[in-house]
Copies of this chain bind each other. A is one copy, B any other.
Amino acid sequence: MSPTGEGLRERRRRETRQEIHAAALRLARRHGFDKVTIEMISTEAGVSPRTFFNYFPNKEAAAVFGPRELSSEAAAAFVAAGPARPGEVLRDLTRLLLRQLAESPPERRDMHDIFALAHEHPGVLAAMLAQFDTFRTGVAATVAERMGRQPDDEVPNLIASVALTAVRTGLERWSRDEPVDGEDSPVPYVERSVALLHTLLAP
């Protein structure tokens, strides 16, 4: 096991998934998304189409791929901190998400292209929304576990939704901005979205 609690097999799977995703984006830039086929993506990534389907159901899902879950170690530490007021749980969750984003930030250009593809292709948008929702459901389950509540309970679901709304909004703004020298992290953008959310709901 590596320090992040990830076995070799898991790491290989993660790398292959990432390579297929990168290949899908590269080909979409080169030929336009409509012209890209699963065969082309597989060849570009050096895998068989059969392997492709072990990772993604279609090219839309391959194009939008992003994190689908919290790292298992971070989630375990978060749960172990135990019950707290909802506002505190939300603050801890936001910190965890920001740390995860700082440790493995996406490429700005990739995020830009993913949001642009989602804007143009309803199928890509659907895949992106489905992926966000899978992530949200998993985060809500982790929050529920920490709070000793059911996964479908309203409070953990609101906490997860609010935190991920900030992440999505921050990432979207970051992806549209022009890169500034020496400062190319999405973290300040998501931090600003979190601060804005607090302003919104302040009494």
B-binding residues in A (CB < 8 A): 86-87, 90, 122, 125-127, 129-130, 133, 152, 154-155, 157-159, 161-162, 165-166, 168-169, 172-173, 176, 192-193, 196-203
Residues of chain B within 8 A (CB-CB) of A192 are 154
* Residue of B with least CB distance to A127: B126
Copies of this chain present in the complex amount to 2
Contact between chains at A158 and B201 (CB < 8 Å): no
Looking at the complex, which one of B87, B126, B155, B169 makes contact with A157 (CB distance below 8 Å)? B169
- Bound-state CA distance A169–B169 (Å) is 19
Q: Is the CB of B126 within 8 A of A196?
A: no
Q: Which B residues lie within 8 Å of A159 (CB)?
A: 200
Question: How far, in Å, is A162 (CB) from chain B's closest CB?
Answer: 6
Docked-complex contact A173 and B154, CB < 8 angstroms = yes
Offer 15 A-B interface pairs, CB within 8 angstroms, sorted by A.
A86-B200, A87-B200, A90-B200, A126-B130, A129-B129, A129-B133, A154-B169, A154-B173, A154-B193, A154-B196, A155-B196, A158-B166, A162-B162, A162-B197, A162-B200
Closest Cβ of chain B to A56, distance in Å, is 13
